[in-house]
Structure formats: C-alpha cells, structure tokens
Amino acid sequence: MYDEHYGLTGRPFQLTPDPKFWFETATHRKAMAYLGYGLAQGEGFIVITGDIGAGKTTLVGHLMDTIDHQRLNAIKLVSTAIEADDLLRIVATELHVDPAGLTKAELLTAIERGLHAVARTGKRTLLIVDEAQALPVSALEELRMLSNFQAGGHALLQIVLLGQPEFRDRLHGLDRLEQLRQRVIAIHHLDPMEEHEVSDYLAHRLTVVGWTGNPDFADDAFAAFFAASAGVPRRLNLLAGRVMLHAAIEDLRVIDAAVVRSVQRDLEGDLPTLATDTGKGAAASVETLAQPVPVADTPRTDPATEARIAALEARVELQDEALRRVLTLLVDWVESEDAKPEYAPIRGVSAWHDAA
C-alpha cells in the first residue's frame, strides 16, 4: 500500500529475491569476482556461503542474468535434503534424460550422455545447488563423481554450491569430503553490508521503483537501520518495508532515527527473532528462542496464583476465539460481491481509498 501512497511503481523491499534490485556491496562484489574466476577455470566447485538473509539467492539470480547462456547451460536446484539417488534423477531430468526405471549405473551413463549432448552444442553445463547445507554427504559425493565427467580433457560439468555457514564447517571438518575439498577452486563467505553501504542500498532499491525523494531520510535514520538489521539485507528489507508502511499511514515526508526505532520496537514485539543482537551474528535462531524452560528451572507458584493464571488463560482463549469469529465474518464480508458503504479517506491515504 505504501508504494501507491508515495507514487512508486512497485515494492522496493519485498522479501522475495528479485535480480532487478541487485546491489553490489563490497562482499557481493568479491563474491562475483570469485564466481567469475571460478567460471573462467571451467571445472571443479565454487562455494559461496552466507548467513540466512545474506543475499545468496539474489546473488544466484544476478549470476543467471549475467552469464553467457550461449556458452553455459545453467541448471539450478534448491536442495531440501535430497538423497543421492534422487539428486541424480533430478540432474538427469534437467538434462532432458528420462530417469524412470534406470539403475544407478544406467542413470550415471545417461547423465554423461546428456552432458555430452550439451557439449556438442558448444556449451558447458553449470549446476547451481542452493541450500547445500541440507545435502547428505552421499549426495555431495555423487556431485563430486559427476564433476569427473570429461570430454577431450575438459570438464563437462562445473558446480556452484551455496549454503549457510554450517556447510563450510562440514566441508572443512569431514574427512569423507576431502576429495571434494580438493576440487574447490574458489570459495567466499558473504558478510553483512557495512554501515556506510546502508544509505546507498536503500536509495538504490527505492530508485528502481521510481522514488524521487518522497519520503526523504534524515541522516540519523541510516545508522538506526544498520543497528536494527546488523547489515543483513533480508532483515533490512523487512524493517524498511515496515518503516515505509508506517510513514505512509502517518503521511510522513521525512523518516528519521526515531521513526526507525519505533517501528523496530513494534517488529520485535511481533517477531521476537528480529530482536537485535549484533554480537551473535545476523540470523536469530527460532529453535533457540523456542526451547522450553527445563522443569527444574521453572519458578513454583502457590495454588491461588496458579488458579488466577488459569482463569486469565481461559479468558484469553475465549477472547481469541471471539476475535477469530469476528475476523472470519469480516473476511467473508470483504470478499463478498455485495456493495460496500463509502467511508471518508484517512488522512494521507486517499490513494488507498480510491484503489479500494
């Protein structure tokens, strides 16, 4: 809604990765340099790691937009703990090979034939595997075996692995992956952006959707954005989107640090995992926050207090159920085709009223 209020052509801070919003921070520039070097070698593995929300998927999108598709046949897979055999079948399918009913030996032969078929068109195959930390060691070993396929002394397949930091730890810590480690020709870890990059990042994403300076940003706003997001792009996008929405509702022309901090406090109340802790890294752990308190550590209360707590919990449940019924009725009413009464527009959001 804030995009309409400020005359933007789209949502600049959507969480879905979109290559058109690519912004080259220092760490992303290094990542692209390593990718360029690795691709020029034409063999082996390139490994890119980064914390949750660091921009790995956006990096891949930008890579797919910039590579020469006349020379590279790029295949992208998103790993979800795929077992070795299933991984081979997916690769075969992407090479237009039907894997149905094939034994593993037949499947490997079929994949090699598929890679040769691509090579005969003058292309090299590039396999990009996202979320590589979810792959079992057996699947990583199969990828290593695929990287051995050659024709005329040149590799038929090159592989890019993207994953969270634990993948880098596995790669360096497991003896079973020694042979794969020896085939890694370039590796880079995506760090959060620096504080001085935040203002350019926000301005770039806004400019892509037609921002002309409304709303403006006070100088102290950028330090607040950085402090609240720790420089992690996805966290920064989430916060910036909520700040823009708040600014539209309040019809603000200037966003300052006080506005950013106010919205951040609201976000922390809505999503506790966003509470800032720059000393522990950018990604808060939902699992850690959800851990139950051990029974031995739980404070004991007297029976009267427990009864009052139980009564309060029962009242909350009743109120929650009533609210759900009201919301259900409201949704049904909004989605119905019946004529709706006209309401006076709220200050500063007449565009939303007109759009409705």
What are the tens digits of pLDDT across the range 13-57? 998 888 889 999 999 999 999 999 999 999 999 999 999 999 998
Amino acid 267: pLDDT? 86
Amino acid 318: pLDDT? 55
Tokens of 280: 């522990």
Homologous superfamily of the 26-190 domain (CATH): P-loop containing nucleotide triphosphate hydrolases (3.40.50.300)
Amino acid 351: pLDDT? 38
Confidence at 280, pLDDT banded by 50, 70, 90: very low
Confidence at 309, pLDDT banded by 50, 70, 90: low
Amino acid 290: pLDDT? 33
Q: How far apart are CA 93 and CA 120, in angstroms?
A: 18
Q: How far apart are CA 58 and CA 28, in angstroms?
A: 10
Q: How far apart are CA 188 and CA 33, in angstroms?
A: 10
Higher-scoring residue by pLDDT: 7, 304: 7
| Whether pLDDT at 116 is above 80 | yes
137-146, 268-277, 335-344 — which one is most confidently predicted on average? 137-146
Contact 156, 149 (CB under 8 A): yes
Q: Which helix (H) or strand (E) is 75 found in, with range?
A: strand 72-78
Peptide bond before 215: cis, by omega within 30 degrees of 0? yes
What's the helix, strand, coil split of the chain in %, to 5? 55, 10, 30
Number of helices and strands (H, E) in the chain?
15, 9
The DSSP symbol for 213 reads: S
232-246, 278-292, 333-347 — which one is most confidently predicted on average? 232-246
Which of 54-63, 300-309, 340-349 shows the lowest per-residue confidence on average (mean pLDDT)?
340-349
**How many angstroms separate the Cα of 24 from the Cα of each of 21, 28, 30, 66, 198?**
10, 5, 9, 14, 12
| Whether pLDDT at 340 is above 60 | no
As assigned by CATH, the class of the 2-18+194-289 domain is mainly alpha
User: Strand, coil or helix: what is 73?
Assistant: strand
| Whether pLDDT at 350 is above 60 | no
The DSSP symbol for 224 reads: H
| Whether pLDDT at 282 is above 70 | no
Tell me the mean pLDDT in the region 85-106: 93
**How many angstroms separate the Cα of 28 from the Cα of each of 60, 70, 138, 195, 201?**
11, 25, 30, 15, 12
| Whether pLDDT at 277 is above 90 | no
- What's the pLDDT tens digit per position in 173-221? 899 999 999 999 999 999 999 999 999 999 999 999 999 999 999 999 9
Contact 160, 129 (CB under 8 A): yes
Other C-beta atoms lying within 10 Å of the C-beta of residue 148: 12
User: Strand, coil or helix: what is 159?
Assistant: strand
Contacts 24+ apart (CB under 8 A), 307-312: none
Q: Where are the domains of the chain?
A: 2-18+194-289, 26-190, 295-335
Equal fold, 2-18+194-289 vs 26-190:
no
60-64, 252-256, 314-318, 322-326 — which one is most confidently predicted on average? 252-256
| Whether pLDDT at 63 is above 70 | yes
Query: Over pLDDT 90: what percentage of the chain?
Result: 65
Amino acid 321: pLDDT? 56
Amino acid 325: pLDDT? 55
Q: Which of 53, 97, 55 is nearest to 75 (CA)?
A: 97
Contact 88, 108 (CB under 8 A): yes
